Chain A
Amino acid sequence: MEIIEEKRGHLSTFKLQGRLDSNTSQEFEKRIFDAMSDGTKNVVIDFKDLDYISSAGLRVILKATKALKREDGKILLCAMQDYVKEVFEIAGFDSFLPIVPTLDDALKSI
């Protein structure tokens, strides 16, 4: 999986490409938490090019969300492909994670 990170002030945007599974989720966890150590308070994750996610990916996102919330930060997930969104829905994560259609929507809300 490729991770493209963009930092603007306290906002980090992560664009994910490929597959987020138990083999690739550790790297993503490290990147998010490194960004937080570096001052990131708000995170946008762009799922446009992510074709696949498993519970390992969901777990990292949940862990990051809790950590950001503790520091009064926000997280927004955007541009999910259908099947990826369904995984969040089956897991019930869509009831407490903000998921918006486009990156624009996310950047406007953050």
Chain B
Amino acid sequence: MIAAGACKGWESACYDHQRSGTDEGARVMTPRTTLSFELKNDLSELSTLCENLERMGEELGIARRSLFEINLALDELFTNIISYGFADQSEHTIRVRISSENNLLTLVLEDDGIPFNPVGSPPAELPCTLEECKVGGLGIHLVRNLMDEVAYSRSGDKNVLTLKKVIEKS
């Protein structure tokens, strides 16, 4: 077992260490996958998203505020992806994988749309006034505020968004 102090926060070194059951020589630790589900590229799937997260929240004992924040961040990204990420009218799937390690949640969103980085736009300028308020980028501004880490990468034909959040337990 890796000592508690050895793996701080979300340094990627932690995820390179894995412990296999029988071979103590290979000390690799992978985060436990808590939840994996798929959403169709339709806004009605926002309720599926919510339901899955509620269940996860109960299982992991996540505080209501943290759960709200996670739901909102994923909602914003999901909405952006299906609004801008697909060039055709076909049905697409957005895959959500969430893993937890103590109070650190890692959330990965994957879709097979056109190369599209929902968090690529510059952050919204704040504070704004009623007249000058630019709504473009508002969703992403919320995501950056609600999550501790947000990263985009393109992997083969997939867009991959990796989010990390230190959550509160209830």
Residues of A participating in the B interface, judged by any CB pair closer than 8 Å: 19, 21-23, 52, 54-56, 58-59, 62, 65-66, 69, 83, 87, 90-93, 95-97
A sample of 23 cross-chain residue pairs with beta-carbon separation below 8 angstroms, ordered by A number, consists of: A21-B46, A21-B79, A22-B43, A22-B46, A23-B44, A52-B71, A52-B72, A54-B72, A54-B139, A55-B135, A55-B138, A55-B139, A69-B130, A83-B64, A87-B72, A91-B126, A91-B138, A91-B142, A93-B133, A95-B127, A95-B128, A96-B129, A96-B130
B65 at the interface (CB under 8 A from A): yes
Say whether, besides A55-B138, A59-B138, A91-B138, A83 and B68 are in contact (CB < 8 Å): yes
Return chain A residues, CB-CB under 8 Å to B126: 91-92
A58 to B47, CA, bound (A): 19
- Complex contacts, A90 vs chain B, CB 8 Å: 141-142, 145-146
Residues of A within 8 A of B112 (CB): none
Closest residue to A96 on the B side, CB-wise? B130
Question: Cβ of B111 < 8 Å from any Cβ of A?
Answer: no
4-30 of chain B: CB within 8 A of chain A: none
Cβ of B135 and Cβ of A92 under 8 Å apart?
Answer: no
Nearest Cβ in chain B — how far from A23, in angstroms?
4
How far does the Cβ of B100 sit from chain A's closest Cβ, in whole Å? Answer: 21
Name the contact of A23 in the complex, choosing from B46, B68, B129, B133 (C-beta under 8 A). B46
Instruction: Take A22-B43, A66-B130, A95-B127 as given contacts and tell me if A54 and B141 are in contact as well, using a CB distance cutoff of 8 Å.
Output: no
Find out whether the CB atom of A62 lies under 8 angstroms from the CB atom of B71. Answer: no
- Residues in B65-104 with C-beta less than 8 Å from chain A: 65, 68, 71-72, 75-76, 79
Smallest CB gap from B146: residue in A:
A90
User: How many residues from B make CB contacts under 8 Å with A?
Assistant: 26
Contact count A vs B, C-beta below 8 Å = 63
Q: Which residues of B contact A93 (CB under 8 A)?
A: 133
- Considering the complex, give the chain A residue whose CB is closest to the CB of B129: A96
CB distance from A9 to the nearest CB of B (A): 25
In the complex, besides A22-B43, A91-B142, 7 extra interface pairs with C-beta distance below 8 angstroms are A52-B68, A54-B79, A54-B139, A55-B135, A55-B142, A58-B135, A69-B130
In the docked arrangement, what's the CA distance between A54 and B133, Å? 16
What is the distance, in angstroms, from B120's C-beta to the closest C-beta of chain A? Answer: 17
CA of A62 to CA of B134, assembled, Å: 10
Cα–Cα distance between A93 and B139 once the two chains are bound (Å): 13
Contacts known (A55-B138, A87-B72); A62 close to B79, Cβ less than 8 A: no
**Given contacts A59-B138, A83-B65, A91-B142, A21 and B127 within 8 Å (CB-CB):** no
> How far, in whole Å, are A95 and B129 apart by their CA atoms in the complex?
7
